[in-house]
Copies of this chain bind each other. A is one copy, B any other.
Amino acid sequence: MRFELKERDAAGRLCRFTTKHGTVTTPNLLPVINPNKMIIPPKEMKKRFGTDILITNSYIIYKNPELKKQALESGVHALIDFDGSIMTDSGTFQNYVYGDVHLDPVEIVQFQRDIGSDIGTILDVFGTPHQTRETSEQGVNETIERARKSLPHKGEMLLACPVQGSIYPELRRKCAQELSTLSADFFPIGGVVPLMENQRYSDLVRCILSAKQGLDPSKPVHLFGAGHPLVFSLAVALGCDFFDSSAYAKYANDGRMIFQWGTEKFDDLSELPCSCPICSKYTKESLMELDEKDRTLQLALHNLYVSFMELKIIRVALTEGWLWDLVEQRASANPYLSEAVRVLHEPEHLQWLEHHEPTSKKTAVFYTGPQTIHRPIFYRYHQRLINRYTPFFQETVVFPEGTKPYSMFYSKEITDILAHKNVNLVVRSSLGPVPMELDEMYPLAQSVFPNCVDQETGEIAQQRMENFLEGSSILHWDDQMVFSSEGPLKHPIDFDTRRISAVADMQFGVGASDVLFSGDLRLVKSKQTGKIRNILCDGSHVVSMRAEDGLFTLKIDGGLRLHKRMKYPLLRVVVVDDAVPFIKEGKSLFAKFVSDCDPHLRPYDECVIVDEQDTFLGVGRTLLTRNEMLTFQHGVAVKTRDALQQG
């Protein structure tokens, strides 16, 4: 197996997953194939949807002598005529639904191995939402025990071990941790179908979060039984990689059509509100003229088009950095989903999410409603404002919100004020306080809020402003404010100096600005935009400021300064000895060669690369969280930007 993270957003990731039967991109959907009754043949799926991975049920094959014989003789790929990756389920869900499955847990794993399944699943114990904690714990223990017994029999097959634990977060976390210790290959989150059937999305979110918090982050996570696109984006944002859908077929059999916003009965629709090839070829009337079997097939195809489309949208959003926007948009279609998004705002979850949140993104943050201000990126900003930002003076001038970037909108005022008075400058923005010198930093310039926000956003911003200003004497800026009467300052502080100093501390931690910029400072600005580009200190280039996100890129000399003065493990990613030569050649640092990492580093942070003796090797940009660096076996952990020249 190979599982490699390529792109990320929120706590979600876009990965390449490789089995013996090929490579697929995650997040992805495994259509469920019933070997007894294939509404859409797997080959047709491959042709229409590019399906390279699907799931079928080993228990159904096992119970049917004919299918069993065929599968053992020629393999499950021949049985269903599909040459992509095949995952098999074990009968656990059938046991939950029908209650009459009697199977030897090890035998069904051996069977899956013998029929050539790419990913088999252990016979786990399905935990239902109404179970007591005790019953759930027994189920979890039994699931772990079965995993332990099954793993030695998996052969070359990957083995999926579902995380159970009903609605008890600590059980989910425990189950996840123990299965991770056992080195299972693939982690379904099980027992969630009853939650989804009852739209208990808040509980679903808690189940996912607690499982994820216990799981080895380098393994694929599959939300078992999630087939409705409504929940896909939220689940992906929390780190789910796979879904499976029998919904496309079940709903079609029931005359129901899946849409992004929910489900509609075909009979109730006045026309087909979709542009997929099926809904473009047929009208409601012409579909009604088909015989029932054919109509069911067409509805099933529609359902898969819509489901795969949602995954395409999610992958684009994840790659472009607007996955949270998408999650919140989808939540607006369903009150229970909207409630589930609120679960993420609880401090413990926000903290976990903040660890995964990239430092910067390709796209701006778009306000979607009261959820937006609770996003991890703003949580981080306000945390850092408290912990890393130091006001320059005792007095603060507060500006009302203007056009972004604020420092341009208020440039005349800034020049006037700073020439005459040593004060802090702060904008009262829709997302809370923005010190003027941070105004170009992601996500402050890169966020779009309406002029008129909802009351919740307004009050949170107000509260944060009050906290920020506590202890400061406040001057509210207005048009009539004149500072020239105070006479010019003898040594006014340059606004640019303020900016680089404040950004450096916010980005690298308190004290970073002193380390980076002590000495003879020279700022090189863009001739076109007038923005700071390069910063030289004592003649050497320490950092550059990126135009797109107002954050610094570390140069070798900047890295050396930080390395010298900031204590281990601050800002470090540590390379094992074997890999040191590669780094010295400027090659990227792969996760499997990382032995440690500063826990404060976030994805897409600038970092210092060192060897195990903390010798400085170079500077780079992280792609993974610390936890990911320490577990992933494949893929890049740090993109080396520059390595120290030897000699």
A contact set with B: CB distance below 8 Å: 7, 48, 50, 261, 264, 268-277, 280, 283, 305-306, 308-309, 312-313, 315-317, 319-320, 325, 328-329, 332-336, 338-339, 342, 366-370, 448-452, 454-456, 459
Q: Are B315 and A370 in contact (CB under 8 A)?
A: no
Q: List 24 A-B contacts (CB under 8 A).
A: A261-B329, A270-B315, A270-B320, A271-B312, A273-B312, A273-B315, A274-B309, A275-B306, A275-B308, A275-B309, A276-B277, A277-B280, A328-B332, A329-B332, A333-B368, A335-B368, A335-B448, A335-B450, A338-B367, A339-B451, A454-B454, A454-B455, A454-B456, A456-B456
Q: Are B455 and A459 in contact (CB under 8 A)?
A: yes
Contact of A275 among B275, B315, B367 (CB under 8 A): B275
Distance in angstroms between the alpha carbons of A48 and B275 in the assembled complex = 10
Q: Are A271 and B315 in contact (CB under 8 A)?
A: yes
Q: Are A367 and B329 in contact (CB under 8 A)?
A: no
Contact of A271 among B271, B272, B316, B328 (CB under 8 A): B316
Q: Are B339 and A450 in contact (CB under 8 A)?
A: yes
Q: Are B306 and A450 in contact (CB under 8 A)?
A: no
Q: Are A334 and B274 in contact (CB under 8 A)?
A: no
Distance in angstroms between the alpha carbons of A456 and B459 in the assembled complex = 10
Using CB atoms, name the residue of chain B closest to A306. Answer: B275
Q: Are B450 and A336 in contact (CB under 8 A)?
A: yes
Contact of A316 among B270, B276, B308, B319 (CB under 8 A): B270
Contact of A452 among B268, B276, B339 (CB under 8 A): B339
Q: Are A280 and B305 in contact (CB under 8 A)?
A: yes
B residues near A272, Cβ cutoff 8 Å: 312
Q: Are B342 and A452 in contact (CB under 8 A)?
A: yes
Distance in angstroms between the alpha carbons of A328 and B336 in the assembled complex = 16
Q: Are A370 and B454 in contact (CB under 8 A)?
A: yes
Q: Are B455 and A268 in contact (CB under 8 A)?
A: no
B residues near A332, Cβ cutoff 8 Å: 328-329, 332, 368-369
Known: A336-B450, A370-B369, A448-B335. A276 touches B273 (CB 8 A): no
B residues near A277, Cβ cutoff 8 Å: 275-277, 280
Within the complex, the shortest CB–CB distance from A358 to chain B, in Å, comes to 16
Known: A48-B280, A332-B369, A366-B335. A313 touches B273 (CB 8 A): yes
Distance in angstroms between the alpha carbons of A283 and B312 in the assembled complex = 11
B residues near A320, Cβ cutoff 8 Å: 268, 270
Within the complex, the shortest CB–CB distance from A345 to chain B, in Å, comes to 10
Q: Are A335 and B449 in contact (CB under 8 A)?
A: yes
Task: Please give 15 more A-B residue pairs, beta carbons under 8 A apart, in addition to A275-B309, A455-B455.
Answer: A7-B270, A264-B316, A270-B316, A272-B312, A273-B313, A275-B275, A275-B306, A276-B277, A335-B368, A336-B450, A338-B369, A339-B450, A342-B452, A370-B456, A455-B456
Within the complex, the shortest CB–CB distance from A227 to chain B, in Å, comes to 16
Known: A276-B276, A305-B280, A454-B454. A333 touches B325 (CB 8 A): yes
Within the complex, the shortest CB–CB distance from A303 to chain B, in Å, comes to 11
Within the complex, the shortest CB–CB distance from A571 to chain B, in Å, comes to 31
B residues near A306, Cβ cutoff 8 Å: 275
Distance in angstroms between the alpha carbons of A367 and B7 in the assembled complex = 33
Distance in angstroms between the alpha carbons of A448 and B320 in the assembled complex = 33
Shortest 7 CB-CB contacts between residues of A and residues of B? A339-B450, A455-B456, A275-B309, A273-B313, A369-B369, A335-B367, A370-B454
B residues near A313, Cβ cutoff 8 Å: 273
